[in-house]
Amino acid sequence: MDEENIKILTKDNKIITLRELFDGKQKTHALQASLTFEEKIKILVELQKIAYSWGNKKNVIVWKL
Amino acid sequence: MRDTLRIINELKEKGLIKDYAIGGAIAALRWVEPFFTRDLDIFIIPEKEVGEEELLLLSPIYEYLKNKGYNQWVGQWLIIEGVPVEFIPAEGLAKEALENAIEIEFDGVPTKIITPEYLIALFLKASRQKDKIKIQMLLEQAKIDMGKLEEILDRYNLSERFKIL
């Protein structure tokens, strides 16, 4: 069986193929890339907070917006 | 970040630097999806480019910032308004990248940012694993003028490195 046609049961009992899952990821990447610079910096600060707390990287400086 | 850029703009207004542009990961982030990074790389052309002993003089910049109260260093980063900043004197490819940087605004504060074609060339020159990842992201997600990129890579002898990427 073609790996890309493997079916996955996802949220709301929707069935999609592995290919569709990857296509969806690509669309999300493209959507995120089209955010404004300000929005991206806000997300970066959230990532820094996660690295600091969850990742236990206490040397990460969480930026002031 | 807004206030950080405002302070960096002051360096230009006060004649301490000729020009500057955001480079490195934050410049890449302008063109691709958000990703984790730690610092803000600022490429600069110092006002006094070279001292008597062929030294690039960054001390007037740090002295000015120190007098404004920015004297907290974490490794190579100077903390300006809560953001770790590294000033990098721009020479060669980086200088050309800075001269061709585009003007943008961040929260109403004017600034300049290096374009994707020059970022790819600069990341290619560094060629660490994390640089290669950023090149891949730029190629996939940013609008790249391939003709312009090839021309830059050719002039800086980076074409072969790009091919085997």
User: Which range (A9-13, B124-128, B150-154) has the least confidence?
Assistant: A9-13
**Both A23 and A49 in a single domain?**
no
pLDDT in tens, A5-60: 888 888 888 898 988 888 888 888 888 999 999 999 999 999 999 999 998 888 99
**Both A28 and A41 in a single domain?**
no
Mean pLDDT of chain B: 94
**Both A53 and A25 in a single domain?**
no
The residue ranking higher by pLDDT, A4 or B28, is B28
Is any Cβ of chain A less than 8 angstroms from the Cβ of B83?
A: yes
Q: Tell me the residue type at B25.
A: A
**Distances B97 to B40, B78, B91 between C-alpha atoms, Å:** 16, 23, 9
* Per-residue model confidence (pLDDT) at position A21: 86
**Both A29 and A40 in a single domain?**
no
**Both A47 and A60 in a single domain?**
yes
Q: Using 50, 70 and 90 to split pLDDT, how confident is the model at B52?
A: low
**Both A27 and A48 in a single domain?**
no
Instruction: Provide the pairing of β-strand B40-46 with B83-89.
Output: parallel
**Both A28 and A42 in a single domain?**
no
User: Which of B110, B41, B1, B22 has the alpha carbon at shortest distance from A65?
Assistant: B1
Chain A residue numbers touching B26 (CB-CB < 8 A) = 41
Q: Are A48 and B1 within 8 A, CB to CB?
A: no
Q: Are B82 and A32 within 8 A, CB to CB?
A: no
Is B19 in contact with B45 (CB distance < 8 Å)? yes
Report the Cα B149 to chain-centroid distance in Å. 18
**Both A42 and A63 in a single domain?**
yes
Considering its fold, how many domains does chain A have in total? 2
Res B132 pLDDT > 60: yes
Q: Are B38 and A64 within 8 A, CB to CB?
A: no
Is any Cβ of chain B less than 8 angstroms from the Cβ of A6?
A: no
Q: Are A30 and B141 within 8 A, CB to CB?
A: yes
* Per-residue model confidence (pLDDT) at position B131: 96
**Both A29 and A2 in a single domain?**
yes
ipTM rounded to 2 decimals: 0.88
Collapsing DSSP states into helix, strand and coil, what is residue A59? coil
**Both A24 and A6 in a single domain?**
yes
Is any Cβ of chain B less than 8 angstroms from the Cβ of A54?
A: no
Res B33 pLDDT > 90: yes
Q: The domain containing residue A51 runs over which residues?
A: 36-65
* Per-residue model confidence (pLDDT) at position A2: 78
User: Which of B93, B75, B89 has the alpha carbon at shortest distance from B153?
Assistant: B93
**Both A10 and A23 in a single domain?**
yes
**Both A1 and A26 in a single domain?**
yes
Q: Using 50, 70 and 90 to split pLDDT, how confident is the model at B55?
A: confident
Is B17 in contact with B11 (CB distance < 8 Å)? yes
